[in-house]
């Protein structure tokens, strides 16, 4: 079955660090573009970061310099290392796979995990 399963969410104090994992099955993380998207309680979706198959990474302004997206091809797993956490980072974090229907087509997120909750609070 093709799926994504996130883990690692926790209650963490401001200034702390946390690493989220997203284990893929049914496809290869290393040959796909992979993203993290978050959703604060009762709020909308916010794109966080993308890791391209070639290794390039891009981040939202709100997390740049604090978060790092990476992958372990041997474990077929995507990661999000979150440092210097702030209260406003409290959210459900989803991983999502990029897809486009054809060359030069638009990218869209065709596969999502169920999310993992990160709560930043003292």
Among 11, 84, 107, 121, binds another protein (CB under 8 A): 107
CB 27 within 8 A of CB 73: no
Closest of 120, 109, 105, 87 to residue 36, by C-alpha: 109
Structure tokens at 9: 């969410």
Complex with another protein: residue 65 or 105, whichever CB lies closer: 105
Structure tokens at 92: 């459900």
Choices 8-16, 23-31, 82-90, 104-112 (CB under 8 A): range interacting with another protein: 104-112
State in angstroms the smallest separation of the CB of 20 from another protein: 15
CB 18 within 8 A of CB 7: no
Residues forming contacts to another protein in the complex (CB under 8 A) are 35, 37, 44-47, 50, 58, 61, 94, 101, 105-110, 112-115
């Amino acid at each position: 079955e093709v799926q994504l399963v996130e883990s690692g969410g926790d209650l963490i104090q401001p200034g702390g660090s946390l690493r989220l994992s997203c284990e893929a099955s049914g496809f290869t993380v290393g040959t796909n573009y992979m993203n993290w998207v978050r959703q604060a309680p009762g709020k909308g979706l916010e794109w966080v970061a993308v890791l391209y198959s070639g290794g390039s990474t891009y981040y939202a302004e709100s997390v740049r310099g604090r978060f790092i997206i990476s992958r372990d091809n041997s474990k077929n797993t995507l990661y999000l290392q979150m440092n210097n956490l702030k209260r406003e980072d409290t959210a459900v974090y989803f991983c999502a796979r990029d897809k486009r229907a054809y060359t030069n087509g638009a990218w869209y997120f065709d596969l999502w995990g169920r999310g993992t909750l990160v709560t930043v609070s003292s």
